[in-house]
Amino acid sequence: MSGVRRTVAFIFAIATLGMASVPLFYSEDVGIATHHLLHGALIAGGVITGIILAQGRPTGKSVWIFGIVGAPLLIMFLMWPSLYALIDTAPAAHAGEHLAIAVFAFTCAYSGERYAKGVGVLIGILTVGMAVLASGGFGVVH
């Protein structure tokens, strides 16, 4: 892996960790729809970091499917709106949730790229898309 690629991955990782730590310093309610979009940004940061770090090393081993399938499911459960009342009152728990979302996003993309070239990109797009679509009404009572 080239030094430039490693540097770019490091920058994305640091930016994503910075986004994940925001609840430690900012606790205003932004609404569920906006919160899902912010989760989408966290997911994108983790996905991009995972894709960069896994570039060029697919193995085709089926063990990677656990990360490809399991990590997005865990992200979806972490974004379940009924959890918000519990974690929004504890900034450290909220930041921990954000960190877990970013780590699982990294896991799904890295696993996908290690399985077969392009799978991490596809699962990453779908996972970010899940967060964006959720902002349109998931967990919002009309």
Token representation of residue 64: 């990677």
How far is C-alpha 15 from the chain's CA centre?
13
How far is C-alpha 80 from the chain's CA centre?
14
**How much is the pLDDT for 139?**
55
C-alpha span between 32 and 12 (Å, rounded): 25
**How much is the pLDDT for 142?**
47
| CB distance 24 to 92 below 8 Å | yes
Task: Identify residue 129 by its one-letter amino acid code.
Answer: G
Q: Along the 142 residues of the chain, how does pLDDT read in single tens digits?
A: 688 989 999 999 999 999 999 999 987 778 778 888 999 999 999 999 999 999 777 888 999 999 999 999 999 998 877 777 788 789 999 999 999 999 999 999 999 999 999 999 999 999 999 999 988 876 555 4
